[in-house]
């Protein structure tokens, strides 16, 4: 049975998935691949002659070769559009994490749903930091720079 907390967690978790997909540098290559596949291209990207330096060749990753054969273009179109992906993210999270938890006994069902809760907590933390105006490490670095500037100004005045 799905509780209200599970529903809210899936909503926030899907937002975290979309945020990571759209902004995460770790997904750059996969986003480029999805964009190419959504445009109808299959196989390694075509590069006009003379564009690559001498001795450099394009290496097409094995994961891309597998996805070319297994995943239909429909899924690539859905994930190329963030608006479309917003509907699919929640459904995939439910299928991968929530549905299996229904068939497991209590301690295991919570463990299977743990990625949903951790993604939801990440999304809530990001939303709160954006609302308050904090940006984590950036703020820490600014404080360190201000302290070092103050120290330098004190030594210059002395």
- pLDDT for 44: 87
- pLDDT for 135: 58
Number of domains in the chain: 1
CB atoms within 10 A of CB 123: 21
- pLDDT for 153: 73
Give residue 95's domain range. Answer: 4-157
Per-state percent for the chain, helix, strand, coil, to nearest 5: 75, 0, 25
Cα–Cα distance for residue pair 155/3, rounded to 1 Å: 60
pTM: 0.73
- pLDDT for 132: 78
- pLDDT for 18: 94
Task: Assess contact for 96 and 114: CB atoms under 8 A.
Answer: no
Please state, in angstroms and as integers, the Cα–Cα distance from residue 115 to each residue in 50, 58, 108, following that order: 46, 35, 13
The whole-number mean pLDDT for each consecutive block of 10 residues of the chain, a chain of 158 residues, reads 87 94 91 93 82 81 92 92 91 92 90 94 90 63 70 68
């Amino acid at each position: 049975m799905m509780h209200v907390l599970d529903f809210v967690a899936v909503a926030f978790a899907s937002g975290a998935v979309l945020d990571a997909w759209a902004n995460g540098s770790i997904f750059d290559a996969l986003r480029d691949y999805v964009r190419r596949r959504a445009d109808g291209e299959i196989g390694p990207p075509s590069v006009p002659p003379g564009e690559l330096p001498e001795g450099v060749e394009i290496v097409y990753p094995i994961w891309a070769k597998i996805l070319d054969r297994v995943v239909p273009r429909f899924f690539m179109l859905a994930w190329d559009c963030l608006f479309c992906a917003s509907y699919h993210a929640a459904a995939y999270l439910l299928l991968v994490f929530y549905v299996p938890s229904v068939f497991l006994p209590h301690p295991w069902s919570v463990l299977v749903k743990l990625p949903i809760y951790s993604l939801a907590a990440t999304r809530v933390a990001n939303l709160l930091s954006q609302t308050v105006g904090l940006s984590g490490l950036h703020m820490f670095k600014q404080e360190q720079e201000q302290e070092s500037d103050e120290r330098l100004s004190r030594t210059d005045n002395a």
